[in-house]
Amino acid sequence: MRSIVVATVLATFLVTACESRGRSKKGDAVSSGDATSQGDASAADGNDGLAAGDGASDGASDGASDGASDGAGDGASDGASDGASDGASDGASDGVADGASDGSADGASDGSADGSDGPACLDAAYSEALPNLGANITAELNAYKSSDPHSFVYAVLAKRYPTGEYLVREGMKDNNYDCVENFLGDKSSGESVVTQLSTVVHECGHLADINLGGFSAAAFIIRPDLIFSCPGGSYAGPDSVFARSLIAQDKFGPQRPKCNGGSQGCDFYADIYLDGDPGNSQFEGGDQGFDSVLEEATQYVNSLATGYAFHDYYGFATSERDGILTFLWYIQRYLHMARNKFPEDHAFLLGNDCWRDSILTVWGRAWLYLNATKGNQALGLDDAAIEKLVNTPELLEEIQRVREADGCL
């Protein structure tokens, strides 16, 4: 839970950064190319409910992520390369492992994977190479210098989680903010730094998305070769949508209420991300729109992926799984509220190729890593309880509606 403190600090920084970059968004979905899948691990492979995901992951990666998305989502990004949403359906399902989209893995893509009823849904088809858990980083640990943590961070990520290295380097392109120095606490040893990498990758990932974008779209770097840049979806500007904090008032929230100083069986993410009142005159993190919810989900997947890559160095339990599960739950709840109380917002999100494809891609990637880490006690605190919330049939239907709008079953 140590990263909750970091998260609070970051929230302040990134909300300010977001405001300074502007509040309006518009733009076309673009992609960084054909966006082919990198490997043979698939989200649907052995999925225990691919369609069912939630789970909060605080811990080592709970790395301060409020304001991060709080900011990344709002001005997050435009400049992704050509065809983000277009290439998404290409890229997300390109290179799917054998049987990856076979069947429906608990409703992930009912009946469509075999092509009989339509194209495979992007979440079921998603695949990428998993982290290289066997890569030896002893040499890097022995050569570590506290005066130069950046070189160490790049080197070990390159060996075990190359996407993480890419995100950190992209985040470091913001000359006004050093996301490595600012999100590393104890730099006395390489071993200590390794246990903080999920936070570093998460926060640098936010900055990478912000740096990629600008004022006109929300950018989500899934991998170096798969990037979305979606129009609107922010709390202000063209095609703006309702504040994420409003979902705290829905009928699902009481099942895991805000902690408000407590610590057992409560949602400490809600205290950070679902704060504020969109009706007052003060801008608060919870005032942000759906773009920030998906941005946080994107980075919590990276938190879990990084934690998985280096979990052999963890001597404690973290909430990496809890974080991403929680944000899958928030995605479901936001879509449910949009459909029932803000139908224009719902029609906009499900009517836009980029938003549909990015939602399904993040959903599929999340379940790829949740399945890979199932039962790993170093990566979860209360993840089993949160996963049950994500598996609520009424909420799973919200993701199914996205699939149907995207032309798959």
Classify residue 96 by its DSSP letter.
P
Whole-angstrom distance, CA of residue 43 vs CA of residue 364: 6
pLDDT at position 244 over 70 = yes
**Residue 182, both tokens:** 């600012």
CA 301/CA 76 separation, integer angstroms: 17
**For the residues 377-381, what does the mean pLDDT come to?**
97
- Both tokens of 79, joined, read 């400049």
Tell me if 54 is assigned to some domain: yes
The phi, psi pair for 19, rounded to 5°, reads -60, -40
Is 351 among the domain residues? Answer: yes
Q: Is 175 helix (H, G, I), strand (E, B) or coil?
A: coil
pLDDT of residue 391: 98
Q: Looking at per-residue confidence, does 181 or 1 come out higher?
A: 181
Residue 227 placed within a domain: yes
Q: What is the pLDDT of residue 76?
A: 35
Compute the average pLDDT of residues 282-298: 96
For residues 80 and 142, the model is more confident at 142
- Percent of the chain beyond pLDDT 90? 65
| Residue 364 pLDDT | 98
CA Rg value for the chain: 19
φ/ψ (deg, to 5) at 53: -120, 140
Q: What percent of the chain has pLDDT over 70?
A: 71
Could you read off the pLDDT of 44-90 as tens digits, one per residue?
Answer: 333 333 333 333 333 333 333 333 334 333 333 333 333 333 333 33
pLDDT tens string 251-263:
999 999 999 988 7
Judged by average pLDDT, the poorest of 9-13, 336-340, 390-394 is 9-13
140 falls within a domain: no
pLDDT attached to residue 365 = 98
pLDDT tens for each residue of 265-283: 999 999 999 999 998 988 9
Residue 255 has what pLDDT? 97
Q: What is the pLDDT of residue 215?
A: 66
More confident residue, 88 or 135: 135
Angle between helices 162-171 and 149-160 (to 10 degrees): 140
Give the lowest-confidence range in 21-25, 80-84, 114-118, 310-314.
21-25
The 10 Å CB-count burial string (b at 16+, else e) for 110-142 is bebbeeeebbbbbbbbbbbebbeeeeebeebbe
Phi-psi region of 52 (alpha: psi -120 to 50; beta: other; left: phi over 0): beta
Does residue 250 lie in a domain region? Answer: yes
Q: Is 145 a domain residue?
A: no
Mean pLDDT of 324-332: 98
DSSP conformation letters of 185-244: ---S-HHHHHTTHHHHHHHHHHHHHHHH--SS-EEEEEETTEEEEES--SSSSTT----G
196-212 exposure pattern, b = at least 16 Cβ within 10 A, e = fewer: bbbbbbbbbbbbbbbbb
pLDDT recorded at residue 263: 79
Distance from C-alpha of 326 to C-alpha of 390, rounded to nearest angstrom: 8
Q: How confident is the model at residue 175 (pLDDT cuts 50, 70, 90)?
A: confident
Domain region containing 60: 11-130+207-405
The answer as to whether 41 is a domain residue is yes
* Mean pLDDT, residues 151-164: 98
The rounded distance, in Å, linking the Cα atoms of 400 and 409 is: 8
Of 99-108, 155-164, 216-225, the one with minimum mean pLDDT is 99-108
The helix (run of H) or strand (run of E) holding residue 259 is none
Rounded average pLDDT over 326-336:
98
Helix/strand/coil percent split, the chain, to 5? 50, 5, 45
Task: Say which DSSP state 42 is in.
Answer: E
400: Cα within 13 Å, side-chain hemisphere: 20
At 345-362, the pLDDT tens digits run 999 999 999 999 999 999
pLDDT given at position 118: 66
Show the tokens assigned to 94. 């390109």
73 in Cβ contact with 297 (< 8 Å)? no
User: Is residue 141 situated within a structural domain?
Assistant: no
Number of structural domains found in the chain: 1
